[in-house]
Each structure stands twice: as C-alpha cells, then as structure tokens.
Amino acid sequence: MPPKKTSLKSKRTKDDDEPFPEFARPSPTECALAVQVLGDLHGTPTPGKQTMGVLDSLVRTILSQNTTDKNSRVAFLSLKEHFPKWREVYDAVGTGRVEASIRHGGLADIKARNIHVILDYLLTQHADKCEDGGQEPSYEWLRKESDEFCKAELSQHKGVGPKTVSCVMMFNLMRPEFPVDT
C-alpha cells in the first residue's frame, strides 16, 4: 500500500522557526534535509557578491513571474536601458513606455502598474530613506533591517508573494531563505 499523502494545507502548531505554519509541509527539518542533500549532491555554494540593488532585485523578480528566465532577463535589461533610474520609471507612468519596455516578459500592464505603486510608496512613505534627497526610489535601507521586518515590508506590495520575497532575501540580501515554487 502506498504511503498516505499529507495535505500541504494541513495546519501545524505555530512554532517560532516556522515561516508558514499554516502549511503541513515542508517542515523546517525537511527544508534543512533538502539543503543538506542538495549540498552533498551539487556542493554547497558560498555567498557571492551583491550584484544589484535591492529595488533592482525586487523588480527583476517581479518581471520573472509567469515567464521564462530568458524573457524576464530581456524585459529587465530593456527596462534599465530605457530607464536607467527608477525615478524615470516612476515619471513615465501613463505614457505606455514602461509597459512597452517590459512587454517581452508578459503581463506588462499588470507588472508596470505594480512596479509604479512600489515606487510611489517608496517616494511618499520612505522619502527620507531614498537617494538623491528623496528623489530616487530605493530599498537599500532594508539591508540593515531584520529578516522579519524585510519580509513584512516587501510582502505588503501587490504582486509580491512569499516566493518573490524569499528570492530577494536570498539572492540580494544574502539571507538564509528557501524559495519554494509549486
């Protein structure tokens, strides 16, 4: 008889080290085992250098949703080629130029709107932490914040779910995360 499957949505008892206690699996122990097995098989990576800003990483990850890595890379490079500064992206709202620059990655209208809302939030709610006297949107200040704060801050945005948050935390903020996809 095959083993009984455990529903992924069964509730667990809340434990401080469990990021998603509402799911039965994977448990923190199972995640640690997966990391160990993958490390044994492929080698354990060492953290690399931070290669892009936090906001760049967030937008790059948003653009990777519902498309291939190749298409999202093309969309991000096109966006940065047309708009080298985030303020330029913000100022281009309503022109269709942002959408055109990311069209290759799919869902351009939705992604452009979500990106604009994030930029607006940074410029209005965190201008004191933004660059160039509050004129250039930035999330670099997250580097000094706790994991819990960063997760709460990033997840409040529409279009930014747990996987996107985990990717930004792991790849850019160099935090120990385990992004999970369906």
Active site residues: 163
Among 45, 52, 61, 18, residue whose Cα is nearest residue 168: 61
3-class DSSP assignment, residue 120: helix
Query: What are 8's two structure tokens?
Result: 């992924």
Number of H helices, E strands in the chain: 9, 0
Q: What is the DSSP string of 48-74?
A: ----S-HHHHHHHHHHTTTS-HHHHHH
How far is it, in rounded angstroms, from Cα 27 to Cα 20? 9
